[in-house]
Amino acid sequence: MDAWELLHTWLDNSALRPSTRAEYFRELAGPKGFLTWCDQQHPPIDAITARPKDIAAWAADRHLKPYLNGRPFDGPDALAQIAQQHPEAGRSHDRRISALTQYYEAALDRGLITLPPNLTALRSGVTRPAGAKNRLNHDERGVLFYVIGMWGPNRSKHYQRDRLAAWLLLEGMRPAHVVRVDKRHLYPQPDGTWQVRAPDDHENVGKQFVLEPLTGAAVQDYLKVRPDPVDPACHTLLLNDARRPLQSRWVNRVIGQMAATHPLLADREPPVTADTVAHTGFWDTPAG
């Protein structure tokens, strides 16, 4: 099966809305589409085995140059500029990355690849538009639980960290708080639960959270693989590839990438963001 056959097979059998299938086909197969771009390269690129740098080159060449004011498309910093100055362009770009994410999920399901490209760093992470619906409904939340559980080593080399970030959002923490959780303020309890003090907006030790069992298990899984920070004085729980604290925009990117793996969430308008997850929470009504 070649790249074009995969595209048609995936979309013909997808649970996406017809309008979304048409949009994804245009983004991938139209004059500016990724598969079209791959065929036009010298030598041509096999879209099924394309690398993140190929996808970044396509995005810059066909879509993002007008918004970069002459700067190169050099990764997250350029995307942050687009997200801040041209949020609609950022949302359109993230939609294209969602289409490609599902395309590679289809390739994985059909045994054409063993590991899909990690496209998290290629998302702009545009925040939720003002006035947008800010909670997942019952079915959407159930699917979110599923995609978090399925987020494993075949999707991200830092899957334990990514899962933990998602569970912390479901505890009600905002993205800016998730990336500032201090390892020193994690408190294991005799009954197996965990308590955590999330920093407030002024860097003080803030609200206490008693973590749900799923979040507690994610804490334990991540602590087993958490690298030592570059700066020994850094106690931030979640660290990036450079072993430094993450930025809150990263939380939006990873949630967007998780959501893009399932049609119910990828097809949602407005898109699923970290704020959406934080407003949703674990349950409709508090326990007890």
Q: Give tens-digit pLDDT for 245-283.
A: 998 889 999 999 999 999 999 988 888 999 999 999 887
CA distance 53 to 56: 5
Cβ neighbourhood burial of 148 (10 Å; 0-12, 13-18, 19+): buried
* Stated length of the chain: 288
Please count the other Cβ atoms lying within 10 Å of the Cβ belonging to residue 207: 12
For residue 124, give the amino acid letter. S
Q: Which residues pair with 239 in a beta bridge?
A: 245
Per-residue tokens: 238: 């979640």
Residue among 184, 169, 168 at smallest CA distance from 229: 184
CA distance 112 to 108: 6
pTM for the complete prediction? Answer: 0.83
Angle at 50 between CA 3 and CA 31, to 5 degrees: 60
Please count the other Cβ atoms lying within 10 Å of the Cβ belonging to residue 245: 17
Q: Which residues pair with 186 in a beta bridge?
A: 196
Q: Give tens-digit pLDDT for 115-150.
A: 899 898 898 887 665 555 578 999 999 999 999 999
Residue among 167, 18, 15 at smallest CA distance from 102: 15
Instruction: Give backbone dihedrals phi and psi of 210, rounded to 5 degrees, phi first.
Output: -95, 110
Instruction: Give backbone dihedrals phi and psi of 239, rounded to 5 degrees, phi first.
Output: -125, 150
CA distance 107 to 35: 14
8 A C-beta contact, residue 54 and residue 60: no
Query: Per-residue confidence of the chain (288 residues) as pLDDT tens digits?
Result: 999 999 999 999 988 889 999 999 999 999 999 999 999 999 999 999 999 999 999 999 999 999 988 888 877 788 888 888 898 998 899 999 999 999 999 999 999 999 899 898 898 887 665 555 578 999 999 999 999 999 999 889 999 999 999 999 999 888 988 999 999 889 998 888 899 987 765 556 667 888 999 999 999 999 999 999 999 999 999 999 999 999 888 999 999 999 999 999 998 888 899 999 999 988 765 444
DSSP three-state, residue 207? strand
